[in-house]
Chain A
Amino acid sequence: MARVLLRNLNKFYDDVHAVKDVNLEIRDKEFVVLVGPSGCGKTTTLRMVAGLESISSGQVLIGDTVVNDLAPMDRDIAMVFQNYALYPHMSVYDNMAFGLKMRKVDRGDIRKRVQEAADILGIHDLLARKPRQLSGGQRQRVALGRAIVRHPQVFLFDEPLSNLDAKLRVQMRVELKKLHNRLNTTAVYVTHDQVEAMTLGDRVVVMRGGVVQQVGEPLELYNAPVNRFVAGFIGSPAMNFAPARLRDGDGKLHAEASGFGLELPGALAARLRPHTGRDVVLGVRPEDLQIANGSAPPGLCFDAMVEVVERLGAEILLDLQVGQQTMVASVEPSVTAKRGDKLRFALNPERLHFFDAASEAAI
């Protein structure tokens, strides 16, 4: 069984605490994505699993074995690097065969395995070429091939798509997903791109400042972020935030923000009532801002002025001025709006997020 267990994992660089008490279980055959902004510790964590960084404290287990003291070559893992790390002086075939040669695999077996991987990735005609003769996408495939050939217990990916141009990136994303379905091997994938995280991961781990913020399936993170950071990190365009205060007013719970006020209905009010009088942050995703058509209760509507209209084809992004803050709304392409228009928006109470202003935790 090839699951990966991180237990109380810590990493110190001199005085910098780069990875703080990470606990994570990656199940057998699962594709887990570590995502977060640069410096959040995701790559350091990955490298500790690989054995390329020493572990300050805590344990890494692959399968049932503690691998803290095992050299990278003994952990039965394979890694795909951001810069592909293809050996420039060797042909594609030799690049893929290198690991097997190091393990003294029989030459016939090597040939079989390389052919097999080449078939899966469609790089058959490239086997005799040198890396410098390949395009970015081809190099990436070779890097994948090199990892596949080893039949490892765990695949590690360190931002493998970051160096590809946008179109290629989308294409490779799909291919990676298909590959994972086919190979059915545990994978740990690091990226700063939340779109990659959402589309590739069985589960996503959001990290920030060395600390795990939330672990869950992609939709779980999208619908129920546990704190403001996760809420703002997942989803594009990012969630809109407005500082607000909860106030009790004639039996109803009100959220007062700059430029608008809301009357919160039953279930939502019941949940939030304990926080009355406190400063909170209201969050709503651009796609959840609907132009009011009269059917929504007035307590859940607000006015905004359009500053910029961005027509993307499949949607229109409206940059709005709401009181003191700006918000972004994503609306249907059929909406006609222009700069300077005043529009009324309706909010769906089930799509509203509230966060405590001080702790940033979801409430």
Chain B
Amino acid sequence: MIEGAKWRRWVYFYIPLGLFVFWLLFPFYWMLVTSVRPDRELYRPWMAPNYTPFWTAHPTLVHITDLLTETLFTRWMANTLFIAIVSTVISLFCGLLAGYALSRLKFPGGGALGTGIFITYLVPQTLLFIPLADVIRNFKLGDTPWALILTYPTFLIPFCTWLLMGYFKAIPRELEECARIDGATRWKAMLYIVFPVAVPGILSAGIFAFTLSWNEFIYALVFLSSAEQKTVSVGVTSELVRGDVFYWGQLMAGALLGSIPVAFIYSFFVEHYVAGLTGSVKG
């Protein structure tokens, strides 16, 4: 606690904190208000006298319903969900195995491989997207969810591996050694002893991976072309702008609904998400 007069607490703590929270959360409030604001209010210029920005007296669900019925939004949500889940599963699978191998086994080239995987995490998608588009075309994966399901792991696996390595390192070796003496083979000890104890790490990695998949944009933008295949991010960007006209009501509704799955999962697993975030930074 800040010792001293009450006013100091307000000036140095409550006010700055309040400002931060307001600044960070206001855009979401704005999203919400815009989604339920009828068009005639929406397109009222800010200089007009009856501009009432912070609330609306006539909330309407028309944007949301239009979004769901007149656009392919639900399809985009389904696509994104499918891609995110499968990518996460693939990445967790690879990350678990690779993380275990790199943190628990001694073999030639282990250090180099670990560094190599770390480096690939730092290769941004914007560096690879052009040649990768070519590769995707060659494999005939263009315009299918598989283009993303196979490429998302490229940035999810290094992250999962690294995070899980941190968790594995904290598990005492004696557990596996005891299991191996008790009668388990190396891989059975890994599967029945090490992995179950690392479940918090697996949850953290999985949630983080899901969030990262949902958030990805440039690969989805470049590899998918037909409207039915698009993910939420790409769909909202490309299909809700017709001509040069932005349908802001629907756009904000789309943004709001598109954020819900991630926010939902996040709300249940905040601790795991934070653990994933800080784990990745503390290495």
Contacts and interface: CB of A to CB of B under 8 A. Distances in A.
The answer on A and B forming one complex is yes
B181 A89 contact: no
A87 B192 CA distance: 10
Contacts of A78: 181-182
Contact of A87 (B175, B181, B183, B185): B175
B197 A73 contact: no
B182 A146 contact: yes
Interface in B170-219: 172, 174-175, 177-185, 188, 192-193, 196-197, 199
Given A88-B197, A89-B196, A72 B177 contact: yes
A83 B172 contact: yes
Contacts, number: 65
A192 B283 CA distance: 35
Interface residues of A, number: 24
Contacts of A87: 175, 178-179, 193, 197
Interface in A53-73: 71-73
A98 B174 CA distance: 15
Contact of A102 (B172, B175, B188, B199): B188
Interface residues of B, number: 18
B204 to A, nearest CB: 17
Contacts of A85: 172, 174-175, 177-178
Of the listed residues A52, A83, A85, A89, the one surrounded by the most CB atoms of chain B closer than 10 A to its CB is A85
A271 interface: no
B174 A102 contact: no
B180 to A, nearest CB: 5
Interface in A68-116: 71-73, 75, 77-79, 81-83, 85, 87-89, 98-100, 102-103
Given A89-B196, A89-B197, A102-B188, A71 B174 contact: no
B223 to A, nearest CB: 41
A100 B182 CA distance: 8
Contacts of A50: 177, 181
Given A88-B197, A89-B196, 16 more contacts: A52-B180, A73-B182, A73-B184, A81-B174, A81-B177, A83-B172, A85-B172, A85-B175, A87-B178, A87-B193, A98-B182, A99-B181, A99-B182, A102-B183, A102-B184, A150-B183
Ranked 7 nearest A-B pairs via Cβ: A99-B182, A102-B183, A85-B174, A85-B178, A89-B196, A73-B183, A81-B174
Interface of B: 172, 174-175, 177-185, 188, 192-193, 196-197, 199
